[in-house]
Amino acid sequence: MGDRREEIIVSLPGEIRIYTTTIPTARRRVTLLQDPLYRKDVALQTMGYFYPPQLSYHFR
């Protein structure tokens, strides 16, 4: 949704389900695709350059 709600996306044969809460969360988490180096590596991997994407920071 983009407003920091808890979301779960489930893929079933022939359908996609999105479960979400009605209350926005107070915790803010950085997603992997917000990291520019990781996003670039994922884009390169989809073009055929196969190597694991790297993060520009330490991920716990």
CA distance between the termini of the chain: 25
Q: Is the pLDDT of residue 19 over 70?
A: yes
Mean pLDDT is lowest, of 14-18, 22-26, 28-32, 56-60, for 56-60
**Tokens 């996306």, residue located:** 9
Hey, where are the domains in the chain? 7-46
Averaged pLDDT for residues 31-54 = 79
Q: What are the tokens at 41?
A: 């590596």
| DSSP 3-state of 16 | strand
Q: Residue 16 contacts by C-beta under 8 Å, 6 or more apart in sequence?
A: 9, 10
